[in-house]
Amino acid sequence: MAVTYEQLMALQVKDEPVTITDRDTLLYALSVGMGRDPLDLNELPYVYEGMGPKTVPSMATAIQRIPILVSGLDMLKLLHGEQWLTMHNPLPAAGEFLCDSRVSGIYDKGPGKGAIVLMEAKVRTAAEGTPLFTATTVFFARGDGGIGGPGGSSPRPHAIPDRAPDLSTSVDTRADQALLYRLNIDRNPLHADPAVAKRAGFERPILHGLCGYGSVCRGLLKAVCDYDHTRIVGLDMRFSAPIYPGERIEIDIWRDGNVASFRARVAERGVVVMDNGKCTLAG
C-alpha cells in the first residue's frame, strides 16, 4: 500500500507563497473564453488592463496549491470528482499571497473500491493576511481503497430543483482552448498530446475539468451577475463527463433567492458534463 490514512491526514503545507501578475489574470480570462468578441464591453474589462482588469472568480482554482503530487496517491487512477469554492473577498488582479493546504477529509470505500480524498486550500494576502478564498478539491482515488479511516461518502452534493430551468445560457469553447488553458498551471499532456489522450481512452485531448469550470463561471457571470465578478461568493459543482475542446456548453439555471443552481451539458453528444451546481450570490 503506497499511502495510509494517517499519512494523508498529516499532509499539510503552511504559508506557501503564490505570486500573480495582471498578465496571469488576463491569460486566465482569455483561457476560459472571455474576450471572444473583442468589442464586447462587458467582457473587455476581464481581458484588457485599460478597463480593469476584473478577475473571474474561478481563477481561484488556478491560484490554489494542493499537495497532490507528494500525497502518495496513485496518480494514474485519480479522478477529479468535485470542486467547491467559497470566496471571502474578491480576487485582486495581481499580488503576493500565502496558501495553507491540507487533506481535510477521507472516505474509504474499501480495498478495490477506492477512496474519496478532500484537499483544501486557504489563500490570503501576504501583506495584510486578508482571507481571499477557501477551495476544496474532491478526488476519487480509485487505486487507494483500503487505506483506513472512516467509510461512507463525502457530503451530499447540492440538489438541483425538480422543475424546469428558470433560464438557460451557453458558452463556446475553441478547438485550441486546452492548449491555452494549460499555460495557467496544468500542463498534463492528456490535454495536449493526442497519443496520450488515446492511451487514456479518449478519442482526442480533452478539456481540463477546471477549464470547463471556469467556462461555466463565465456563463454565470453573463446570465445572473451582469458581469459583476464581486457577486459570486460560492461556486460548487460535480464533474460528470469530459468536454472536448470546440464543444458548446449549454447551462441550465434555477434561481432561488441568492442561489443559482445549475447543470451543464453538451447538447450534440447528449451528455451532462457538470451537475449539482450551486452558485451563491452576494446579497
Cell triple for 60: 481561484
Is position 191 annotated as part of the catalytic site? yes
Is position 160 annotated as part of the catalytic site? no
Is position 206 annotated as part of the catalytic site? yes
Which of 22, 100, 186, 193 is catalytic? The answer is: 186
Give the angle subtended at the CA of 16 by the CAs of 15 and 22, to the nearest 5°.
115
Which of 158, 191, 208, 229 is catalytic? The answer is: 191
Is position 270 annotated as part of the catalytic site? no
Which of 209, 212, 234, 277 is catalytic? The answer is: 209
Give the angle subtended at the CA of 50 by the CAs of 46 and 52, to the nearest 5°.
40
Please return the burial class of 221, using the count of CB atoms within 10 Å of its CB with bins 0-12, 13-18 and 19+. Answer: buried
Give DSSP secondary structure letters for the chain: ----HHHHHT-EEEEEEEEE-HHHHHHHHHHTTTTSSTT-TTTHHHH-GGG-----GGGHHHH----GGGS---GGGEEEEEEEEEESSPPPSSEEEEEEEEEEEEEEEETTTEEEEEEEEEEEETTT--EEEEEEEEEEETT-TT--S--S-SPPPPPPPSS--SEEEEEE--TTHHHHHTTTS---GGGT-HHHHHHTT-SSPPPPHHHHHHHHHHHHHHHHSTT-GGGEEEEEEEE-S---TTPEEEEEEEEETTEEEEEEEETTTTEEEEEEEEEEE--
| Catalytic residue list | 186, 191, 206, 209
